[in-house]
Amino acid sequence: MTFVLTGWMLYTMWVLFGLMGLSFLLGLYRALVDKKFSSSLVLDYLKDVLYYVLPLFVLANVVSLDYTGYLLLGAYYVGAFGVALKYLGDMKKKLL
């Protein structure tokens, strides 16, 4: 098995990491403005990488085992869409 993100899978992962980065920067800005900076800000993002991004990498790794070629690929995109919605909602809360 090889670990390769190809085509739209790679672009999807870039979008997720971009949204994670923007959400982190908004949280960092809020923490600095409110003077409530703590290490939990960074630790929450490390936890999110473990809980949300790592399973997507595992799905990407086992896509080659799917004989239909669509089941795990669909699961990857549904999961990525859910993570993107989560971060968009988090950014909306931080802006309001």
pLDDT digits (tens, 9 = 90+) for 29-77: 998 898 888 888 889 889 999 999 999 999 888 888 888 878 999 999 9
The whole model's pTM is what?
0.85
Query: What is the rounded CA–CA span in Å between residue 87 and residue 83?
Result: 6
Residue found under tokens 């982190």:
24
Residue 25 tokens read as 């920067």
Task: pLDDT band for 4, please (50, 70, 90 cuts).
Answer: low
With a cut of 90, say whether residue 5 has pLDDT above it. no
Distances in Å between the Cα of 4 and the Cα atoms of 9, 10, 63 are: 9, 9, 10
The DSSP 8-state label assigned to residue 2 in this structure reads -
Task: Output phi, psi for 73, to 5 deg.
Answer: -65, -40
Q: 25 with 45: CB under 8 angstroms? A: no
